Structure 1
């Protein structure tokens, strides 16, 4: 039987990545070490990782009718993403990323065409969405579109994944319709209004968020690792000890790998370990999508036994 599609609905940004020793002080001009340009956007990143792992992946979004849009569509097509549902309007979204020597980063986005996705765009692809296995969403497109998608497909067999990033206040009825919520420590803290200062705190926040969702909460903790909470499973998975070069897109790589593992029917522990490994590989290389590993790169860690 033919595998069902993964449909990612979200942002496509052209990234300008500046590698530098530190951020400048207010009013200071600081000389950077290197400039890297390439494809990005949380939606596009997650779609790219799904496709690079061999999943049939469709990207839904908007880019500008400009050279940046051409580059974004071309990069996704090159890794196997179906880009026929990407529309062109306005100017392409941009991401400005400052990467520090330890791999940590500071990111600013310009919405551009990402903010022009409409409810009508969603209605036009209804047949694609109802026949998909996963709908993957982030918060870099209009809030009303996100809410509309989740409400419309809540009672279908499609698994809805919400990466609440950048963090927004999500209505109770909307959050409850989400099957899998993925957030980092900052976003999780925002959602519950509490600081996160330890793994134990992350687990407690995950347990607090769980009953508000459809059944699974994943909190990524950067260099520390990640936490997963379901009604029957609660676990901290430590990060792998690697030499981080650039953490840009690592969270998106993690999500793409998690979806791959879930689609393969692996256990929750196996899914988390696999996603952890994929994101660890990602941070050892420069750039966003270019650093994401392929299925061939990871054949030795597909935990199927």
Structure 2
């Protein structure tokens, strides 16, 4: 692939992460163990991981005219993301994440400036897509904006990556124009109307979704692993055995790593193993973007060969 440029259009949230032993019951006040604050949002997370792996990455989105917005832009800039196209309007989106002892989490987001993005904003950055290899989208910005981008660039010389999270119903014509669909088991169940209790269930749902979308379907299964389905190939990739500390952002780390591997022309098998390895490193550290590994962490010798992991 000649161009390796990535444009991420999506959310930027300031995360408040609460570490606690369990979720409180209705009406109960429960004492947490620790509070961690930091940058988040699915769009910003995926941009951060792409940039930390060395891909030229542009982030487009909106933050508020407040200190949270300044912190989000500053963090991405430090990771090497081009933040010059991020606009400031209203109040910054927020994420409240409750992390359990096993690393699993419960997350609530406040829309904020993320939902002030318009199709006119997209037209203003149209020139960016002339030299872009990947457009990366999620569902924490207005639905009509996501649909507009996919429809407008479906025939362009680039790949459209959609992380349908939080899951929305997607029009048949829009979904068919997506080149790479990435969802977790909950989102895949929503899209298919079928429960997923195992890797085999996920594989079957993936085979159903591949008939509705463009080229690659990835379903992540948390600590169990992930499956990938194309028109000619499907397989399950178990998660690496690590001591999970915090799974916040692990799915976004996986996506960023998968895009990096695709940009290097790795095989689908190698892409999945690489993304699995990168996300495994992420869950061993606390927080979101700060826990994402850099290119130097993955390739300490500087030689960018496909990583074969067990």
Alignment TM class, shorter chain as reference: over 0.9
Which residue does the alignment assign to 1:148?
A: 148
Aligned residue for 2:80, secondary structure, equals coil
Are the aligned partners of 1:47 and 1:256 in contact in 2 as well (CA < 8 Å)? yes
Aligned residue for 1:187, secondary structure, equals helix
Q: How does 1:173-252 map to 2 (within 5 A)?
A: 173-252=173-252
Q: Distance in 2 between matches of 1:273 and 1:4?
A: 20
Listed one character per residue, the Cα deviations across residues 200-235 of structure 1 (whole Å, up to 9, x for unaligned) are 110000000001001110000001100000011101
Runs (4+) off by over 3 Å: 1-4
Q: Distance in 1 between matches of 2:199 and 2:175?
A: 23
Listed one character per residue, the Cα deviations across residues 179-206 of structure 1 (whole Å, up to 9, x for unaligned) are 0000000000000101001111100000
Are the aligned partners of 1:130 and 1:158 in contact in 2 as well (CA < 8 Å)? no
2:50 matched to 1:67? Answer: no
The TM-score with structure 2 as length reference comes to 0.97
Q: How has the CA–CA distance of structure 1 residues 110 and 304 changed in structure 2, closer, same or farther, with 3 Å as cutoff?
A: closer
Structure 2: segments with no counterpart, 5+ residues: none
Structure 1: segments with no counterpart, 5+ residues: none
Are the aligned partners of 1:14 and 1:92 in contact in 2 as well (CA < 8 Å)? yes
Aligned residue for 1:212, secondary structure, equals coil
Which residue does the alignment assign to 2:284?
A: 284
Which residue does the alignment assign to 1:303?
A: 306
Residue 2 of structure 1: how far off its partner (Å): 7.9
Aligned residue for 1:195, secondary structure, equals coil
Which residue does the alignment assign to 1:254?
A: 254
How many residues align? The count is 305
Which residue does the alignment assign to 2:122?
A: 122
Listed one character per residue, the Cα deviations across residues 47-87 of structure 1 (whole Å, up to 9, x for unaligned) are 00000000000000000010000000000000000000100
Listed one character per residue, the Cα deviations across residues 98-135 of structure 1 (whole Å, up to 9, x for unaligned) are 00000000000000000000000000011102321000
Which residue does the alignment assign to 1:171?
A: 171
The TM-score with structure 1 as length reference comes to 0.98
Are the aligned partners of 2:61 and 2:87 in contact in 1 as well (CA < 8 Å)? yes
Which residue does the alignment assign to 1:12?
A: 12
Q: Distance in 2 between matches of 1:93 and 1:130?
A: 29
